[in-house]
Amino acid sequence: MYALWSRPNTSFFVMDACFGGLLLDQRAVDVKPGRDAAARGHKQRPRGGEIYGTGDFVFVSNYEQRLQDRFLAGQAEVKSAKERKEGLASTYSRLLDEEAELKKRESLQATKLETLSIGDAMREYQSVQQQLADVGAKYNERLAGALKDLDSRYDNQTRRYETEIEKLDKALRNKILAEKEAEMEIYRRQLDGIMNQTYTVPTTKVELGKYSPEFQAFPVIASIQVNNQPREFSFSIKMPGNEARALWNDREFIRGEGVLKLGQGSNNVTVTSIDIIDDVHSRRYSANGASIGEIKRDGIFVLYGNGIVRNMNTGVEWKVGPDKDTTWDEAKSWVQGLNIAGGGWTLRVRFFSDSGFPA
């Protein structure tokens, strides 16, 4: 029920309360249609807050939360930067310590080499070789274990991880191999130091052969103890006849010194020079490595490395070669091809043994 009347400039309505309520509801919808946006399926995501409720929504600002999140993120970045700085400082300190330890080790090694005997050097060579092998085995085992661990962490992942796995695998290999190479290089330098070091060893015996006036040379055999094993080396020293006579007369007083280096392998030695020293007349005679050869002995007979046998009493030399089914002319041609001073030759007879020494 409603009524309507009016007067100038003014209108009055009298209406039913229910109808008035409907008008007010319609006005509210027309003025603020967003209040029941959720009821009409309209979803809003304001940037500055959150919407709560299913009918009329309530806007709540998240400004304080965003400030808190930004603060926490800043703290996390500061912590991460601090950890990176501490990690770099720790790595730098470790590298300095390793460098100092390396220099100390190399200094001690250099000092140690100066005091080694040739036998000690052989044992040191074997020790460093073993350490080098141990380092290689250690890093190979570490690399295998690290790669196995890497595979176990990713073996259930999909193909999209394959590139990442490949990068990690390569980085891990490079890191471990670089560490391995750095540590092994220490031992390689030690081996080089041992190999390049020279060792002066006194001779235990010097034996003069028969002097050759034609070549003005004395054949010499010098004995040297190498790692408690006697080794004999032969060479010639040139001198004029008057010095040779004086040296022979005082041969009981002569001595020798050999300069040795380790050869390839810890049981081999290379003789770089041998000096024969005549203290009575203050003379020194040197033979270099090219003219020095290791020999085998059987009494007065000496077998040289080139197969020549020498009688140290008479100075006669010969060489024994293959003579089975050899003709006289073939034997003569073969002996002449040896270019041995003296020119004498013969076929093998029964007083020569298979070793080249007289039976």
Q: With cut-offs at 50, 70 and 90, classify the pLDDT of residue 74.
A: confident
Looking at the fold, whether 213 and 179 belong to one and the same domain comes out as no
The pLDDT score that the predictor gives to residue 240 is 92
Looking at the fold, whether 189 and 235 belong to one and the same domain comes out as no
110 in a structural domain: no
C-alpha to C-alpha distance for 16 and 4, rounded to whole angstroms: 12
pLDDT of 53 over the 70 cut: no
Looking at the fold, whether 272 and 289 belong to one and the same domain comes out as yes
The pLDDT score that the predictor gives to residue 95 is 63
- Closest Cα partner for 207 from 223, 224, 221, 218? 221
8 in a structural domain: no
Looking at the fold, whether 284 and 217 belong to one and the same domain comes out as yes
Mean pLDDT of 108-122: 61
Mean pLDDT of 138-157: 59
Q: Is the dihedral of CA 301, 306, 308, 313 positive or negative?
A: negative
**Lookup: tokens for 329:** 């002319």
Q: For residue range 32-47, what is the model confidence (pLDDT) as tens digits?
A: 545 555 555 555 555 5
Looking at the fold, whether 241 and 177 belong to one and the same domain comes out as no
Q: Could you tell me which residue, 144 or 3, shows the higher pLDDT?
A: 144
pLDDT of 204 over the 80 cut: yes
C-alpha to C-alpha distance for 279 and 282, rounded to whole angstroms: 5
Domain that holds residue 237: 199-294
The pLDDT score that the predictor gives to residue 158 is 45
Looking at the fold, whether 213 and 271 belong to one and the same domain comes out as yes
Looking at the fold, whether 244 and 160 belong to one and the same domain comes out as no
70 in a structural domain: no
Q: How many domains does the chain have?
A: 3
Looking at the fold, whether 214 and 288 belong to one and the same domain comes out as yes
Contact 254, 310 (CB under 8 A): no
Of 44, 61, 78, the position where a domain reaches its end is 61
Looking at the fold, whether 190 and 219 belong to one and the same domain comes out as no
Of 294, 315, 342, the position where a domain reaches its end is 294
Looking at the fold, whether 167 and 186 belong to one and the same domain comes out as yes
Looking at the fold, whether 170 and 215 belong to one and the same domain comes out as no
**Lookup: tokens for 260:** 């040795």
Of 25, 46, 61, the position where a domain reaches its end is 61
Q: With cut-offs at 50, 70 and 90, classify the pLDDT of residue 349.
A: very low
The pLDDT score that the predictor gives to residue 9 is 54
Taking residue 1's Cβ as centre, other Cβ atoms within 10 Å add up to 7
Contact 288, 233 (CB under 8 A): no
343 in a structural domain: no
Looking at the fold, whether 213 and 173 belong to one and the same domain comes out as no
Long-range CB pairs of 309-317, under 8 A, 24+ apart, other chains included: 309/356, 309/357, 310/209, 310/219, 312/207, 312/209, 312/210, 312/219, 312/221, 313/210, 314/210, 315/209, 315/210, 315/212, 315/219, 316/342, 317/342
Report if pTM > 0.75.
no
Q: Could you tell me which residue, 162 or 174, shows the higher pLDDT?
A: 174
Task: Print the SS3 string covering the chain.
Answer: CCEEEEECCEEEEECCHHHHHHHHHHHHHHHCHHHHCCCCCCCCCCCCEEEECCCCCEEEECHHHHHHHHHHHHHHHHHHHHHHHHHHHHHHHHHHHHHHHHHHHHHHHHHHHHCCCHHHHHHHHHHHHHHHHHHHHHHHHHHHHHHHHHHHHHCCCCHHHHHHHHHHHHHHHHHHHHHHHHHHHHHHHHHHHHHHCCEEEEEEEEEECCCECCCCEEEEEEEEEECCEEEEEEEEEECCHHHHHHHHHCHHHCEEEEEEEECCCCCCEEEEEEEEEECCCCEEEEEEHHHCEECEEECCEEECCCCEEEECCCCCEEECCCCCCCCHHHHHHHHHCCCCCCCCCCCCCCCECCCCCEC
168 in a structural domain: yes
pLDDT of 58 over the 60 cut: no
190 in a structural domain: yes
345 in a structural domain: no
Mean pLDDT of 324-330: 69
pLDDT of 28 over the 70 cut: no
85 in a structural domain: no
Mean pLDDT of 82-107: 65
